[in-house]
Amino acid sequence: HHYQFRVVAVATERLDVPDDASSAAARLTLSFVALEDAGFTALFTNPAS
């Protein structure tokens, strides 16, 4: 399995995104206020397999 993690630093306390917004709309809004971001992918395999 691949697990992807992303952390975004923003210059605002709240994003103006409706509760029913799509993830694409939230990501677009976030892109306008992001100062920095970082991410990594962790891999997991079941040792019993």
The domains of the chain are located at 2-43
Q: Looking at residue 49, what is its pLDDT? A: 76
pTM of the model: 0.65
pLDDT band at 48 (very low <50, low <70, confident <90, very high): confident
pLDDT in tens, 1-17: 999 999 999 989 988 89
* C-alpha torsion sign, points 21, 23, 25, 28: positive
When the pLDDT of each residue in the chain is averaged and rounded to a whole number, the result is 93
Distance CA 36, CA 34 (A): 6
Residues 30, 8: contact at Cβ < 8 Å? yes
